[in-house]
Amino acid sequence: MASSNVLLIESVQQAASVLKPLRIQMLRQMTEPRTCTELAREFGVSPQKAYYHVKSMERAGVVERSAERIVNGLKEGFYRARARSFWLSPRLVKSLGGTRAARDQTSLGMLARTAEQVLEDVGHLAERSTAGEEVSSLSLDVSIDLPDPERRQAFMQDLTDTFQALASRYTDSTCSTPASGQRYRFTLLCYPKSDQEIS
């Protein structure tokens, strides 16, 4: 069985098993099955140390044993990464700063939480897609010029009205439990481009 394209890391144990420099380098080499002896030789460590790191990642579910062979009467395992890319769930990344900072940056905090939710949702969908499920999605991206507060306010009002009209038109209030695959999340994010000065 081939490795998946994406694995979403959602537990502290998984994150701790991956977020070490040597293990990250090992994972890059383990898109194809490798033995601990091969990894030890490549990274200049003892076979025992390579085995320790590989087994730690296996217990966390980011590495799997794919085959074995007999060498001098002993079994030697082949291990590979369970995915080619590992995405860290935003839920594992705690926000820095106290409640005052959260109060002072309410709108940015909401933007960050929404972006985190999108990343987590996309991570789960990517896992389903690599498992062979067809996942329908749509993304739109546009840059607009809002040079002054008056134009920004007018744009936000137009955007809010349009968003609410679409939601009302395409939401079935009589269907509280839609069939699988019929309900979609539609998210709008609006923020100054980071490569430009914010006025």
pLDDT in tens, 138-158: 888 888 888 888 888 888 888
- The pLDDT tens digits of the residues spanning 100-124 come to 444 444 466 667 777 777 877 888 7
Instruction: Report yes or no on 165 lying in a domain.
Output: no
In a domain, 157, yes or no: no
DSSP string, the chain: -PPEEEEEE-SHHHHHHH-SHHHHHHHHHTTS-EEHHHHHHHHT--HHHHHHHHHHHHHTTSEEEEEEEEETTEEEEEEEESEEEEEE-GGGSPPPS-HHHHHHTHHHHHHHHHHHHHHHHHHHHHHHHHTT---------------SHHHHHHHHHHHHHHHHHHHHHH--TT-SSPPTT------------TTS---
Residue 182 belongs to some domain of the structure: no
| Domain membership flag for residue 163 | no
45 inside domain: yes
On whether the pTM is more than 0.85, the answer is no
In a domain, 21, yes or no: yes
Assign 132 to helix, strand or coil.
Answer: coil
Domain count for the chain, please give it: 1
Q: Decide if pLDDT at 195 tops 70.
A: no
Confidence label for 3 from pLDDT (cuts 50, 70 and 90): low
Q: Is residue 37 part of a domain?
A: yes
pLDDT in tens, 24-54: 999 999 999 999 999 999 999 999 999 999 9
Indicate whether 3 belongs to any domain: yes
Mapping DSSP onto H, E and C, the string for 163-178 reads HHHHHHHHCCCCCCCC
pLDDT of residue 56: 93
Contact (Cβ atoms closer than 8 angstroms) between residue 30 and residue 81: yes
Domain hosting residue 43, numbered range: 1-136
Q: What CATH number is given to the structural domain containing 31?
A: 1.10.10.10
